[in-house]
Amino acid sequence: MSDRLAGKVAVVTGAGRGIGRAVATAFAAQQAALVLVDIAADITGVPYPMASTSQLDHTARMCRELGAPVLTAVADVRAAQDAERVAEQAVERFGRIDVLVNNAGVAGPSGRIVHEVTEDEWAVMMDVNLGGPWRMTKAVGAAMADRRGGSIVNIASTAGLVGYRNFAAYVASKHGLVGLTRAAALDYAPYRVRVNAVCPGSVRDAEATEGRMLAEIGRSIGIEPADHEAAFITQQPMNALVEAEDVAAAAVWLASDESRRATGSVISVDGGYSAR
């Protein structure tokens, strides 16, 4: 336990499992108050289950066990009214929002060449991965600017830095999120609101976080579940997958006052993958 985020109120989207859960528990350990957000329902067109309400509740319990005050919110980042409701509920409960972590995202539908991607598949990827962070930023940005302070952390991907074959929609959405990060950083710099991005590489699907994105990416390209970790490790310069906690550690730094002069930054947590 430490106090790097003591006194701060953080909203974390996609908090039901995976990187979102790791970020939430890392923030709780640093004494942040938390608003944990997840759609907690499946999304039409996404070929794997989203987190459930029970998983979101489990994340909340883990954070409370670490001493954090927690509010949970079932919300869809594709809906502006949901984003606004989350912001309103956070302010009603805690008085303000200091940190926003835009983590909610989907990895599929993927695994096909550009001309095989349908309009609906393209739309759902953009709506969640790029539209979601934009809507959440809109919902909290004005209040942060008025208070002259805040940190927005966008969880992008190495797919926001390089291309991947047969993942055009995902790559485009994450490149867009990196672009949104840099543009929003310039917009908010006069108001001392910082906007940064973390670009994880291949993140291991750990039991503790109940992550499944790497398995879904593997499935999309025809890798058997029993083989997907070994297959991805061979592509990593450090010969190891990234852990969700590694990504969370970067988010803690960006949320804290230690990074007070960092804005518009894009931090790779990918074991050297994007350096090749």
Active site residues: 170
Decide the pairing of beta strands 99-102 and 9-13. Answer: parallel
Residue pair 236/202 in contact (Cβ under 8 Å)? The answer is yes
To the nearest 10°, the Cα dihedral for 50, 113, 206, 202? -130
Decide the pairing of beta strands 150-155 and 193-200. Answer: parallel
273 closest CA partner among 250, 249, 243, 239? 239
Residue found by looking up tokens 């067109």 in the block: 45
- Establish whether the linkage from the previous residue to 47 is cis, with ω within 30° of 0: no
41 closest CA partner among 4, 70, 23, 16? 16
Cβ density class 151-176: b for 16+ within 10 Å, e for less: bbbbbbbbbbbeeeeebbbbbbbbbb
231 Cβ contact list (under 8 Å, min separation 6): 218, 223
Residue pair 139/83 in contact (Cβ under 8 Å)? The answer is yes
SS3 110: coil
Structure tokens at 11: 């909203």
